[in-house]
């Protein structure tokens, strides 16, 4: 039987400690690149890739996310009364973007544990996972590039990108064989290896397509430091039983959950904006760096 990927899970229950104090009372996923929250970029990527329904895994102090994707009667009415049609349509468009539901992760016990909270939503279908602080800027949505590969092999697919030098040790890294241009069959994966121990320069980035058997693999994964269940550990368990593929995604990735990554993304996104880019470029040129 051949399955389509129709559902997506967006884990957004982490504490965002790398971005404190901004994330003390505000979800990291609501940080904005120019004028759009990170999570909206990722919801749009999912929808543009053909996803029909999404679940966002939230935690305490994350209600801003639900409000963002909801109708805002008072705001919409005021905008209409004032004749601000264009911005009204933009605001309403966010509420109509997709079918979104929410589930809570009561404690931030790791990405594997966050994904597990979506078990009832997923039921028995393959599903995508998109990390909202990984922004991938590409002409074909990153997830769409992966779905094409999933549809061919009907096996889990993870996104990978080449990372040079020392930086590789901040990622999960795959040991894999390239079986078609930019498509790899995975032999093994390691979480945050030293440069010397890294099996390749192919880092795992925040997009995955899983089959429902990942939930069983998460159940049998022993929690690591701080009681957290790492998704890489669960994937390694499952790798013993089934094939896993990786796609070298074509695009630019920004780690927007990190202060430096966020600043770079902000500058790049602002420079590309038709309404702001030119003025912003001129302004940057005046800075005495
Ligand atoms: P990160 O490690 O980037 O997020 O997890 P974090 O833990 O919030 O951030 P730092 O490292 O403390 O700054 C990637 C994604 O997984 C979610 C996060 O919200 C983020 O979108 N996540 C992580 C959960 O939903 N639950 C968790 O227990 C951990």
pLDDT averaged over every residue in the chain: 94
Q: Give, in order, the Cα–Cα distances in Å from 200 to each of 48, 156, 169, 173.
A: 31, 20, 11, 7
Q: What is the DSSP letter of 17?
A: G
Residue given tokens 């902000």 in the structure block: 266
Give the span between the Cα atoms of 253 and 41, in whole angstroms. Answer: 12
pLDDT at 226 over 90: no
For 230-256, how does the pLDDT look when each residue is reduced to its tens digit (9 = 90+)?
999 999 999 999 999 999 999 999 999
Please report the pLDDT score of residue 49 as a whole number: 97
In this prediction, residue 288 has a pLDDT band, given cuts at 50, 70 and 90, of confident
Please report the pLDDT score of residue 223 as a whole number: 92
Q: How far is the CA of 176 from the centre of ligand 1 (A)?
A: 26
Number of the ligand 1 atom closest to the C-alpha atom of 18: 13
Protein residue with its CA nearest to atom 7 in ligand 1: 14
Mean pLDDT score, 78-82 = 92
Q: How far is the CA of 279 from the centre of ligand 1 (A)?
A: 35
Please report the pLDDT score of residue 276 as a whole number: 96
Asked if residues 11 and 108 have their Cβ atoms less than 8 Å apart, the reply is no
pLDDT at 36 over 90: yes
Closest CA to 109 of 18, 231, 228: 228
For 87-126, how does the pLDDT look when each residue is reduced to its tens digit (9 = 90+)?
898 888 888 888 999 999 999 999 999 999 999 999 999 9
Number of the ligand 1 atom closest to the C-alpha atom of 59: 25
Please report the pLDDT score of residue 189 as a whole number: 94
What DSSP string runs through 80-127? HHTT-HHHHHHHHHHHTS-EEEEEE-SS---HHHHHHTTHHHHTTS-E
Q: Give, in order, the Cα–Cα distances in Å from 148 to each of 46, 72, 89, 157, 159.
A: 14, 36, 32, 10, 12
Give per-residue burial for 47-69: e unless 16+ CB within 10 Å, then b: bebebeebbbbbbeebeebeebb
For 165-213, how does the pLDDT look when each residue is reduced to its tens digit (9 = 90+)?
999 999 999 999 999 999 999 999 998 999 999 999 999 999 999 999 9
Number of the ligand 1 atom closest to the C-alpha atom of 132: 21
Protein residue with its CA nearest to atom 14 in ligand 1: 131
Closest CA to 247 of 140, 168, 143: 143
In this prediction, residue 54 has a pLDDT band, given cuts at 50, 70 and 90, of very high
Please report the pLDDT score of residue 182 as a whole number: 96
Q: How far is the CA of 14 from the centre of ligand 1 (A)?
A: 4
Number of the ligand 1 atom closest to the C-alpha atom of 11: 25
Pocket of ligand 1 (CB under 6 A): 11-19, 28, 57, 105, 108-111, 113-114, 131-133, 257
Sign of the alpha-carbon torsion through 67, 18, 248, 270 = positive
């Amino acid at each position: 039987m051949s399955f389509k990927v129709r559902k997506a899970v967006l884990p957004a229950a982490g504490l965002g400690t790398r971005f404190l104090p901004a994330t003390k009372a505000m979800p990291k996923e609501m940080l904005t690149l120019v004028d759009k929250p990170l999570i909206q970029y990722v919801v749009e990527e999912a929808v543009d890739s053909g996803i029909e329904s999404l679940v966002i895994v939230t935690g305490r102090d994350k209600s801003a996310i639900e409000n963002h994707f909801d109708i805002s009667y008072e705001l919409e009415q005021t905008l209409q009364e004032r004749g601000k049609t264009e911005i009204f349509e933009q605001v309403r468009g966010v509420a109509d973007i997709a079918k979104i539901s929410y589930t809570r992760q009561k404690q931030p016990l790791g990405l594997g544990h966050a994904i597990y909270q979506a078990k009832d939503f997923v039921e028995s279908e393959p599903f995508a996972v998109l990390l909202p602080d990984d922004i991938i800027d590409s002409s074909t949505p990153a997830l769409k590039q992966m779905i094409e590969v999933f549809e061919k092999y009907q096996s889990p697919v993870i996104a990978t990108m080449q990372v040079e030098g020392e930086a590789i040790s901040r990622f999960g890294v795959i040991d894999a064989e390239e079986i078609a241009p930019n498509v790899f069959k995975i032999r093994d994966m390691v979480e945050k290896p030293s440069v010397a121990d890294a099996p390749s320069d192919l880092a795992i980035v925040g997009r995955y397509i899983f089959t429902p058997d990942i939930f069983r693999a998460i159940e049998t994964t022993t929690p690591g430091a701080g009681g957290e269940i790492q998704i890489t550990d669960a994937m390694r368990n499952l790798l013993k039983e089934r094939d896993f593929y990786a796609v070298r995604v074509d695009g630019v990735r920004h780690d927007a959950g990190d202060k430096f990554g966020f600043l770079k993304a902000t500058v790049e996104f602002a420079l590309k904006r038709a309404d702001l880019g030119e003025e912003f470029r001129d302004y940057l040129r005046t800075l005495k760096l």
